[in-house]
Structure 1
């Protein structure tokens, strides 16, 4: 009888009901002090009121001991995030996930001690660019950025002894051929650079960078001074720095990039310098005074002029190799060239003489002024190349009169430089930069005419004048290569000591490379032993200088690549001279 259905239901009803009830009243009933039937999944009252029924146990209030334990855990977590003992923080490597972590949620974390970007607060008024006249008429002044020099910059600059060494190296090795920083001002200013601001700190860092030597196993872009300088430049820009020293720092960084073959960074840095010089109002005395204030002395005004010319020179150096369009505007004919270098160093305005851009190349000129004149020749070559390409597209003939005029000017400048070498042999390293840039500029012009395709328009026929010019250009290539070979032999004798290698400007490397290519082609075409010997002379000088300027190694690698193509049977006709800079035909 006990197995009847009604008996089973009656006997097990109480046990089943207990299994479907919670152990305690729900939270709402406890809070309202109502009777709870503890039904699952929700009590009858919560079901009737359509509210959430919560049977969870009530946690006791945290004690002071609980708070102390929590604070200890937070401190331990902060310590792990800060120091990260198991990961390479300084190099920014990814730390591996913990072994105890689930593979489905473990994500590598990029740990770094410093933020990826260091910015600063800028109070720079946008009206300077939006409406400069309104800004000037309103009488507003440019605010001085409030900032502290970052620790990594201080570490790179070093102590007082390091500063003395940096200034000594710079003014001994760089200043003679690129005098754009006032020696007298730095002799006073560097002692209080920590009070004057970040612009002077950047200039000191850039001076240390340009005098640094390449290190084996590291590229030039991996130089810690270089990475620090590039980061600091961006930081000073973000806070609205307006300073001549800031522009000087950018120029020296660009010079480092050019000399060490860091591209496209060199090209971009020069573009930044051009823009910043335009912003400062250089080379105009009136416009620059509005941004920088009136110069206190004649030497201050001269320094501004020299910095603008340095930007102009760098613009041509990074443009002429590939015939790229220069960014820096051309000076007016009455714009003044830099004055006597020694007079400027001494602050002696009575011994200074200045001549305009339009003055003849045969007139006496300072060593830096000669470099500026060579840069003007490079600008002429670039303009002529643009015009020639346009004529070729339109099927027009070239202008023989214009070519003859450029060759004549280059010849006059070359003779003036040779005269300067004779009268001032102590300025050897100061003058070779101008000499080589002049060679490169003129030979780039003649290279345009060494190829028949450059002489004729589309569908036009050869004439006697064009044939004569091409033969003259090819002959000029050979003569120029011989002059460069002699120059390389003299230079190699001068740089037998390492202390003299560091004084050599990087402008000579392009000329040595181009002459080497001419000698190489002549040797391979004719087997001429003189060409082979000449190639060895110029190449040996390149190898010697590549220890100071990595650009030399880049050019040597290009020569090896050219040799490899020659070996595999590339067809080099006489037209391969196209694109190789040539020098004037008569250098005597």
Structure 2
């Protein structure tokens, strides 16, 4: 007699107990030994119906939880409920074995990393798609900031018109696809990124008291503690760091850039191809470019934040030897593949420079200057010849940027400003006889002469820089980076130094203009107020003492 056909699925008991089923009929081996009834699902639609019912039940539970937080609250739908107690990790992370695959309508692009991943990566090298998915809920006070597709589109438009123009590391096409959805359900990482985009573009009188800043940063801590790693989480962390730099929130900014570097390294973004990846790998050219740009944003901010903080190592490490620069930003935003230039080249290319690529090149050179400054082992004539070569390279890059800056001042302002800040960091080491190492070699004297000559031109160069950005006029500063404030301040201090030594009226004119630039910037970024306060107090003392 012909044997009965084997069922396609395991029996209900084996499936529930997660046991191997031999699929024998009428009873499988496990049920036969246990002397129990053995049932097989005849119609696979029954399982689908059960899963849909479970999803509907979970969605209803979430809606009830959300409404319980907002019912009876005097706050409007777009406002924050300040009466709620502080968030606890237990309020955010709550998942069960059955709920892991049913928490979102789409798979959550993250993984709860096991301890073994950190103790011995060679042992725990499971691919991303077999890791355990956590069930993460998003706080209602964060969701209220992105309550609708219309509100999210407004956030995206404001962000891409301002911050994106000088630090383009979030893919516009990705955000556009998300906000175009009528039934938008961002995962926790994307929700945090959208809230951070709103935070960085919002004008605030007291950055320390900005509740949205505290909400985003608090939820970021929860996501990190739970091992929820996505590119959106890292991008939100970068925007938090940028917010803290722009508003002078220290030492939080210094700690935050270290967090960004660690997150990127943990995810395997730091240029080492042999490093294990702990997040979903890109499936398109645009996603790959976004990852590259995100890590470059970390490298840029890490170097910038160490300009005046001497003797501390960079958190993000060095640029990779085979590093490829970002491609043309406009092409990337439209989803059109474009060529990328290597960071280190042996010849001259005819391709025009992209503003963000230039910023990456400047950041690489700034990192070399910081390493040179903090390297106590480099002594003697070699130290001065190395400094002279760094200055020559930086001046060549500044000459190139000067031409590009004239064509698009806002887009190239970040690279241009950081290059000037790097120049001051280098010249400060060699301009004063008292701070030189007294090696008594000709290279030391030549380097000091170079430094003094460059410093003499510096206030005029930065005054022209601010004039081209129209900082003397009452303009909208929303599309200007807070990172340009450092070079404005350094030029003001240099003017004060020359005025103290020579009493030059020309330098007082530069000083007044540079301080007016900082007043323009302080309407948007609080760090300009901090720089202005120091400059005005020193100039008052010097002028009164003469």
- SS where residue 481 of structure 2 aligns? coil
Corresponding position: 1:546 with 2:522: yes
Q: Structure 2 matches for 1:88-103, cutoff 5 A? A: none
Distance 1:197 1:151 in 2: 14
RMSD over equivalenced CA pairs, Å: 2.7
Distance 1:170 1:356 in 2: 29
The correspondence for 1:455, drawn from 436, 439, 449, is: 436
Q: Tell me if 1:162 matches 2:151.
A: yes
Name the CA shift for 1:546/1:239 in 2 (closer, same or farther; >3 Å): same
Q: Which secondary structure state, in structure 2, belongs to the residue aligned with residue 165 of structure 1? A: helix
* Cα distance in 2, alignment partners of residues 330 and 474 from structure 1: 30
Rounded to whole Å, the distance in 1 between the matches of 2:190 and 2:180 is 10
Structure 1 residues 431-440 or 330-339, which shifts more? 330-339
Alpha-carbon separation, structure 1, partners of 2:209 and 2:466: 30
**Separation in structure 2 between the aligned mates of residue 421 and residue 361 of structure 1, nearest angstrom:** 23
Map 1:31-46 to 2 at 5 A. none
Q: Is the 1:283–1:305 Cα contact (8 Å) retained in structure 2? A: no
Q: CA deviation at 1:504?
A: 0.7
Does residue 128 (structure 1) correspond to residue 117 (structure 2)? The answer is: yes
Residue 203 of structure 1 corresponds to which residue in structure 2? Answer: 193
> Where in structure 2 are there 5+ consecutive unaligned residues?
1-71, 73-79, 96-111
Q: Tell me whether 192-201 or 254-263 shows the greater mean CA deviation.
A: 192-201
Counterpart check, 1:410 vs 2:394: yes
By how many angstroms is 1:126 displaced?
Answer: 1.2
Secondary structure, in 3 states, of the residue corresponding to 2:130? coil
Give the structure 2 partner of residue 212 of structure 1.
202
1:29 corresponds to: none
Distance 2:208 2:416 in 1: 29
Equivalent in the alignment of 1:183: 172
2:333 corresponds to 1:333: no
Distance apart, 1:562 and its partner CA: 2.3
Contact 2:299 2:363 in 1 (8 A): yes
Q: Deviations over 1:389-436 (max 9, x none)?
A: 3456xxx455232122111211111122123234xx2x3211011011
After TM superposition, the score normalised by the length of structure 1 is 0.71
Give the Cα–Cα distance (whole angstroms) in 2 for the partners of residues 307 and 190 of structure 1.
Answer: 21
- 1:261-307 Cα deviation digits (max 9, x unpaired): 11111111100000000000004485678322331110000100000
Residue 128 of structure 2 contacts residue 280 of structure 2 at CA under 8 Å; is this kept in 1?
no
Corresponding residue for 1:353? 339
Q: Which one of 114, 128, 133 corresponds to residue 144 of structure 1?
A: 133
- 2:192, 2:236 within 8 Å by CA — same for their partners in 1? yes
Which is higher, the Rg of structure 1 or of structure 2? 1
Q: For structure 1, which segment, 526-535 or 204-213, has the greater mean C-alpha deviation from structure 2 after superposition?
A: 526-535
Distance 1:175 1:494, change over 3 A: farther
2:421 to 437, 440, 446: 440
* Shift in CA distance, 147/294, structure 1 to aligned 2, threshold 3 Å: closer
Equivalent position SS for 2:123 = helix
Written as runs of structure 1 = structure 2, the 5 A alignment for 1:289-300 is: 290-300=277-287
Partners of 1:443 and 1:113 lie apart in 2 by 48
What is the CA–CA distance in structure 2 between the aligned matches of 1:311 and 1:213, rounded to whole Å?
A: 24
Q: Provide the rounded CA distance (Å) in 2 between the counterparts of 1:290 and 1:383.
A: 29
Q: Which residue of 1 aligns with 2:160?
A: 171
Q: Contact 1:251 / 1:273 at 8 angstroms: preserved in 2? A: yes
Contact 1:361-1:412 at 8 Å conserved across structures: no
Distance 2:124 2:443 in 1: 58
Q: Does 1:562 align with 2:538?
A: yes
SS at match of 1:532: helix
SS of 1:292's partner is coil
Query: TM-score, structure 2 length as denominator?
Result: 0.76
Write the distance in 2 (CA, Å) between the matches of 1:493 and 1:442: 22
CA distance in 1, matches of 2:274, 2:228: 17
Question: In the alignment, which residue of structure 2 is the partner of 1:531?
Answer: 507
Q: Hey, what's the Cα distance between the residues in 2 that align with 1:365 and 1:289? A: 32
Q: Which residue of 1 aligns with 2:11?
A: none
Shift of 1:159: 3.0
2:234 is aligned, of 247, 268, 290, to 247
- The match for 1:372 is 360
Q: Deviations over 1:283-334 (max 9, x none)?
A: 4485678322331110000100000000101101111122232111112221
Give the conservation status (yes or no) of the 8 Å contact 2:424–2:490.
Answer: no
Deviation (angstroms), 1:493: 5.3
> Does the CA-based 8 Å contact 1:121-1:239 persist in structure 2?
no
| SS of match in other structure, 1:147 | coil
Q: Say whether residues 1:430 and 2:411 are aligned partners.
A: yes
Name the structure 2 match of 1:74.
Answer: none
The answer (yes or no) to whether the contact 2:319–2:364 under 8 Å persists in 1 is: no
Tell me the alpha carbon deviations over residues 38-58 of structure 1, each in whole angstroms, 9 at most, x when there is no partner.
xxxxxxxxxxxxxxxxxxxxx
The question of whether the paired residues in 1 share the 8 Å contact of 2:409 and 2:468 is answered with no
Q: Which of 481, 490, 495 is matched with 2:459 structurally?
A: 481
Tell me the distance in 1 between the aligned counterparts of 2:471 and 2:435.
39
For 1:139 and 1:259, the matched residues in 2 are separated by: 36
Work out the CA distance in 2 between the residues paired with 1:140 and 1:539.
Answer: 54
SS at match of 2:315: coil
| Residues 1:113 and 1:202: Cα distance change in structure 2 (over 3 Å) | closer
CA distance in 2, matches of 1:172, 1:266: 24
> Unmatched 5+ residue regions in structure 1?
1-82, 84-89, 93-111, 571-588
- In the comparison of the two structures, how many residue pairs are matched? 447
* Pair 1:490-2:468 in alignment: yes
- 2:447 aligns to what? 469
